[in-house]
Every structure is written in structure tokens, then in C-alpha cells.
Amino acid sequence: MSRKAVANQAACVIEATGMYVPDRVLNNHDLEKIVDTSDEWIRTRTGIVERRIGEASETSGTMGAHAARQALERAGIAPQEVDLVICATITPDMPFPSTASVIQAELGAFNAACFDMEAACAGFIYALQIGAQFLYSGTYDTVLVIGAEKMSSVLDWSDRNTCVLFGDGAGAAVLRRDETGTRRGLISTILGADGRYGSILSVPGGGSKLPPTVETVQRGEHFLKMSGAEVYKQAVLRMQQAASGALKEAGVAAGDLKLLIPHQANRRIIQALVDRLGLRDDQVFINLDRYGNTSAASVIMALHEAVEQGALKRGDLFMFAAFGAGLSWAASLMEY
């Protein structure tokens, strides 16, 4: 999916971003008291040092609303001007109503249509692409895209294979068409999925296949399950294919990127991607040391921080790349 097909239409641009993480920090030493692990193991295998954990009152909806409010304030856009709220999440507040509608109510964005989008850790990039279609088509003028996750709510805190990897947080972006004709915005996107790998990363219970019962809870089927090594292999392969595809489609060389903003799952996965794309280490943005894997919130939180830190400026080329359960994967090349 490239901008070629809509070359004579205005670009879809990010007007502003927002981010929210809970105050509570859980570091690797805290985890040593919960499961049989060590700070050294977690740092060397993943690069994660600490993550944020939401309080009981904090949900994907409340965190998403905080991030969205900040993005709207920075864009100077009132909640009433929002036409569409898309929330990417695998930890919705509840099966229904959508977390997007929870966020809409918190913001008072009552002129907006709302829905959730689920493509796990690739979810924000999928949602970005969906939001862009509504702008290109002229259906809507202002779209709020949010990635929000309370991963701590689906973790088995006795499983060291998974509980050390994830954290809670939210990020948001306000999308509009560029009416000035000066910005390129979203340039090319590759989305992909392979449902044959569904079982290597899932929360098997709690849906229509295994509705929650005493037995499903006793078997821990409402918790996240993962075959880490399988996911690792697919992650590197699929992100590299998606990222290379997005660059090729746009005719952009990897060396021209100011920043790669990859899904913040594991530092070694990111390094393998950087090596395969032939990028320099200063071309990649990493904040997983402080937040762990926040799934759909990961890349938009990283973009927000990259801009905050001055690592990315208006006019710079950057690329999102992500992978997650599904399996699903995605990459988007953008001019900020």
C-alpha cells in the first residue's frame, strides 16, 4: 500500500502525539522477588531494566484517554473536532463496549465514530493505516489513533518466561490531511499476517472458544502464553521483510532514514533488524529499557519520546516496524 495510488491527494500527517504511563515502576530486582529470575538475565536477554504497572483503577481506556488528551492539546484540536477514534489494543477494558468508546466518553469526543483494532503489537501501525484511509477518502478530517495496553492484566506472575517482558502504557497520535501541500506524512506501508502461527503467542481462554469458567481460570488459560524462541525467529524475519518492503515501495534507501522506530520487545531482536537493514546504531530509537514491551502502545510511545528528546524533527524520515501475535507484522515509512 503506497501513496502512489492516491498521489494527487493530500498527505496524511501526524499533527501531534501524546503518551501516558502509570507512575508505578517495577524493576528487574523487584521481579527477582516474584519469580526465579535475575536482573542480569533480563538485561542481557532482552535489554529491559524496568517497566510500568498500572494500578487497579488504571485501564487501557483511562491510559489511552490520558495519552489522547495530551495529543489533542498539543495539536490544538478540541475533542469535539475528532471524527474517528481507533484504539489498537489486545487488553481492552472488557470484551465490549470498545475501549475506543470508553476513551471517547472520557474525552467528550461525542462527534466521533469509535472502534477497536486488534493486531497485537503491530496494532498501532495497522490502525494508523486504517485512519489514513478515512482521511484519503475524504470521509473524515480528524482521526485519533491510540495504542493502549494494560499487559499486566494478562500476565501470569508465576511464569518467568513471560512476566518479565511486558509493561503498561499508552500512546496517541492525531492524524489529519496536510492542507499546506508541504508535508509528505505517511509514504508507504506494508501489513501482513500468518494465522498458522496463532498458537505461538496467545491468550487462549476467555473468548468464544474457551469462555471463562472456573476450570479455564484454574488452568491459567486467561494468561498470555508464548513460545519465545519461535516468536523471536519470526519477529526478525517478518519485520525485516516489512521494513525492506516499505523502503523499496517508496524508493528510499535505509541510509536516508533519520530513525527506525521498532516495536520495543527485545533489544536483540532490534539489533538483528538493524544489522539486516544495514542501519547504523544511531538510526534506531530504543526506550524498551524503561517500559518493556507495551504491545500496541510500543511504537507510538517511542515516537512520542523520540520527538520529545529532539531525536526526530519535522521533515525527518522515520519508519515504524512491528510484529506480534497473529502472527501479524507491519512497517510504515513516514516523514514526521
Instruction: Kindly list the catalytic residues.
Output: 121, 263, 293
Shortest distance (Å) from residue 151 CB to ligand ACO? 8
In the complex, residue closest to ligand ACO by CB: 324
Shortest distance (Å) from residue 191 CB to ligand ACO? 15
Q: Is 84 helix (H, G, I), strand (E, B) or coil?
A: strand
Q: Is the dihedral of CA 40, 46, 50, 56 positive or negative?
A: negative
56 binds ligand ACO (CB under 6 A): no
161 binds ligand ACO (CB under 6 A): yes
37 binds ligand ACO (CB under 6 A): yes
Q: 244 CB contacts (<8 Å, ≥6 apart)? A: 277
Nearest to 144 by CA among 178, 175, 98, 182: 175
Q: 23 CB contacts (<8 Å, ≥6 apart)? A: 52
Question: Which residue stretch of 10-18, 35-43, 49-57, 185-193 sits at the interface with ligand ACO (rule: CB under 6 A)?
Answer: 35-43
Question: Which residue stretch of 99-107, 209-217, 224-232, 251-259 sits at the interface with ligand ACO (rule: CB under 6 A)?
Answer: 224-232
Identify any residues that bridge with 176 across adjacent strands, giving them in sequence order: 13, 142
Q: Could you identify the residue written with the cell 505461538?
A: 200
Question: Which residue stretch of 3-11, 36-44, 60-68, 127-135 sits at the interface with ligand ACO (rule: CB under 6 A)?
Answer: 36-44
What CA–CA distance (Å, rounded) separates 291 from 94?
24
8-state DSSP, 199: G
What CA–CA distance (Å, rounded) separates 69 from 18?
7
Shortest distance (Å) from residue 206 CB to ligand ACO? 16
CA distances from 116 to 66, 131, 162 (A): 17, 12, 25
235 binds ligand ACO (CB under 6 A): yes
One of 17, 70, 266, 294 touching ligand ACO (CB under 6 A): 266
C-beta of residue 169 within 8 angstroms of C-beta of residue 297: yes
The residue among 27 and 161 lying less far from ligand ACO, judged by its C-beta, is 161
Cα within 13 Å of Cα(46), Cβ side: 30
270 binds ligand ACO (CB under 6 A): no
119 binds ligand ACO (CB under 6 A): no
Backbone Cα Rg of the chain: 19
Q: Is 284 helix (H, G, I), strand (E, B) or coil?
A: strand
One of 60, 104, 202, 295 touching ligand ACO (CB under 6 A): 295
One of 64, 169, 245, 324 touching ligand ACO (CB under 6 A): 324
160 binds ligand ACO (CB under 6 A): yes
Binding string to ligand ACO for residues 178 to 217, with x set by CB under 6 A, is what?
A: -----------------------x----------------
Question: Which residue stretch of 40-48, 50-58, 215-223, 280-288 sits at the interface with ligand ACO (rule: CB under 6 A)?
Answer: 40-48
Nearest to 147 by CA among 98, 87, 69: 87
C-beta of residue 77 within 8 angstroms of C-beta of residue 15: yes
Binding residues for ligand ACO, rule: CB under 6 A, are: 37, 41-42, 45-46, 120-121, 160-161, 164, 201, 226, 228-229, 231-232, 235, 265-266, 293, 295, 324-325
